[in-house]
């Protein structure tokens, strides 16, 4: 399946853990469920003009939720943790880190 780089990367993951990983040049993104490591690597390199060293993929499992008497599940999603070359950075994460 061929995806455009804007379709591969859906959103950055903004959590305390993801901001701790930035110190070791690792950035977290929510990605398309059908994307694979090569597509993620190419999308990050093209969109942010950085050099990717490694890509790790995590499937976040769905969670059961209950509100009053209604039961349901939160949907699962796919996350990519991308490590970039030393000395490079991605600007969208730098503004919120201060």
pLDDT band with cut points at 50, 70 and 90 for residue 1: low
Q: How confident is the model at residue 2 (pLDDT cuts 50, 70, 90)?
A: confident
What is the CATH architecture of 5-86? 2-Layer Sandwich (3.30)
Asked whether the predicted pLDDT for residue 62 surpasses 60, the reply is yes
The residue ranges of every structural domain in the chain are 5-86
Mean pLDDT of 58-73: 94
Note the pTM of the prediction, 2 decimals. 0.85
DSSP assignment of 53-98 = EEEEEEEEPPEEEEETTEEEEEPPEEEEEEEE-TT---HHHHHHH-
Residue 96 is predicted with a pLDDT of 53
pLDDT at 38 over 80: yes
Q: Kindly tell me if the per-residue pLDDT of 98 is higher than 60.
A: no
């Amino acid at each position: 399946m061929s995806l455009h780089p804007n379709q591969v990367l859906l959103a950055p993951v903004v959590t305390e853990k993801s901001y701790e990983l930035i110190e070791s040049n690792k950035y977290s993104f929510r990605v398309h469920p059908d994307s694979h490591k090569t597509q993620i690597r190419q999308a990050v390199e093209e969109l942010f003009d950085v050099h990717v060293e490694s890509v790790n993929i995590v499937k976040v499992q769905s969670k059961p939720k209950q509100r009053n008497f209604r039961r349901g599940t939160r949907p699962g999603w796919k996350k990519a943790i991308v490590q970039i070359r030393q000395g490079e950075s991605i600007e969208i994460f730098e503004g919120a880190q201060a």
